[in-house]
Amino acid sequence: MRNSLILALFAALAISPSWAGQYNAIVDIGDPMPEFTGLPAIDGSNYSSADFDQDVLVLVSLANHCPWVRGMDAGLVELVRQFEGRSVGVVGFSVNHLEEDRLPAMIEHAQRVGYNFVYVYDESQQLGRDLGATRTPEYFVYDGERKLAYTGLLTNSPARETRDGEIMFTNGEPTEFYARDAIDAVLAGGLPDPAETRAQGCSVKYE
């Protein structure tokens, strides 16, 4: 009986998922940013991770079709605006193979909502996989050495766009601005607190 219990325990451990971070199965705080090369963007250029030399680089997992992304669009645009003139880069990326999430639709969506950051498409989906991105939207804040400093939500009240086009916040108007505060902390030479939150949104559509 005892041997059976021990075997059952080992079997359970073998099939249990391993987690790198608190909410991410692939990356943990302090891990290096995965490199990417030659990803096409909405501005007609191709971008690689080496093209960005800012003190902070923010990667954001996006998908045009997702109501949680559309609910957050204004907040993301405002976040970028708040750090204009400072050494902060923002790169949104889409990896879904849905037509509404591919580059032509990305261009239309970005123009409509006023995206003010680099927005790239990764047909291979490798960037999303390397980041362990499972939701849209999902934020990854890297410091000047390209070590992960924060990952998760934009704020403590994720928003979604309803079928009527209204923006509905999950917990009322946001009172905590996780991504903004994480960027400020890194720029000041400190560590974000919290460093991780659980992203909320649509699932990334990996093939």
Ordered domains of the chain (ranges, CATH) = 19-32+53-203 (3.40.30.10)
* Amino acid residing at 51: D
Q: Between β-strands 88-94 and 118-121, what pairing exists: parallel, antiparallel or unpaired?
A: parallel
State how far the Cα of 168 lies from the Cα of 171, in Å rounded to an integer. 9
Give how far the C-alpha of residue 95 lies from the chain's centroid of Cα atoms, to the nearest Å: 12
Asked if residue 15 has pLDDT above 70, the reply is: no
Q: What is the secondary structure of 85-96 as a DSSP string?
A: TSSEEEEEEE--
Q: Scanning the structure block, which residue is given the tokens 């996780």?
A: 178
Q: pLDDT, tens digit, for every residue of 127-153?
A: 999 999 999 999 999 999 999 999 999
pTM of the model: 0.90
